[in-house]
Each structure stands twice: as C-alpha cells, then as structure tokens.
Amino acid sequence: MLYVFDTSSLREVGNMSPAFFPTFWEQFDEQVAAGAIVSVKEALKEVEGLNTKEHLEAWTKVNAGLFRVPTPEEMMFVREIFLVRKFQEMIRKQQRLQGMPVADPFLIAAAKIGNGCVVTEEKVRRNGAQIPNVCAHFDVECINFEGFLEQQGWSY
C-alpha cells in the first residue's frame, strides 16, 4: 500500500523522538526506502515553515526524495478536485494572498493516482473542504497517523 503523508501527520512523526523510538524510525525509514511512504513537494514547504523539531528537519533533508513533484496524471486529478466548487475552499484566501504552500490537493491526487491512502490528522467537517471530505468524495482511503501505525501492526 502507498501512504501519502500530509504535513499534519509528518509533524506527528516528528513527535516520535529517535532517542526514545529508534525501532519506529528503523521501520519508518524502511517503508520510505521501499517507496511505500511518500509525500509531495508542497508538504515539504509546509513542514519547513512549521517545523519545531530538529530531528524532523534533519530527516526531511536526508529524505528529500520522498517529497515528489506531481505527475501529469496527478495534475489532471487536481483539476478534477477543483471542478467541485466546494473543494476550491482548500486554498484559503490568506494562502493565496501570501503565496503560502498548499499541499492538500496534491496529496489527494498522489493517493488517487497511486491507489494509495492519505495519512492526515485533519478531521471530517460537515460541508467542509478538509482532506477527509475530499477523499471520501473521490473514494480515496484516508486515515490518521494512529491508523497508519495500526495498519502496520506497529506498537511502542
């Protein structure tokens, strides 16, 4: 299974200190190396702007290859997302005005085209344009970090 990690879940990963969870990092890095865990370039930009954990910053630099540029097929799917008027709200006014990165539609597109699953800490919001809402609309699996750990059978 392909897991496409959102910024919010990467921040959860950052809470797993390598000093206290070395086995997690070994297993996580194995999945990254195997190509089972990916993200998108926009998520890297978001992480860089929000990161407060030195080990996560160092890890993202070493693993910069997991932050992919969208394929043409993924870009076509991003277009499909934005054809749904409600989902245009994924890009908020402040993000547009300040030129801030927006990873959400690219994450969903990567999961849809790659037959994968989005991993995010966002919650479904009634009539919202959150990642889980959009994933449900387009039949893309969506779980949180805890769900990812559960699917992997990892416990610490």
Task: Render pLDDT for 102-144 as a digit per residue (tens, 0 to 9).
Answer: 899 999 999 999 999 999 999 999 999 999 999 999 999 999 9
Q: Band the pLDDT of 94: cuts 50, 70, 90.
A: low
Q: Is 55 helix (H, G, I), strand (E, B) or coil?
A: helix
> DSSP readout, 93-106?
HHHHHHT----HHH
Cα 118 from Cα 9, distance rounded (Å): 10
Say if strands 67-68 and 37-40 run parallel, antiparallel, or are unpaired. Answer: parallel
Q: Band the pLDDT of 96: cuts 50, 70, 90.
A: low
Under 8 Å CB-to-CB from 40, ≥6 apart: which residues? 4, 67, 68, 69, 70, 103, 106, 107, 110
pLDDT value at position 62?
95
- Of 50 and 31, more confident: 31
Q: What is the pTM of this model?
A: 0.94
Question: Within 10 A of 96 (CB to CB), how many other CB atoms are there?
Answer: 10
State the residue for tokens 């085209």. 113
Architecture of the domain whose range is 3-152: 3-Layer(aba) Sandwich (3.40)
Mean of pLDDT values over 67-93: 93
- The structural domains of the chain, with segments of one domain joined by +, span 3-152
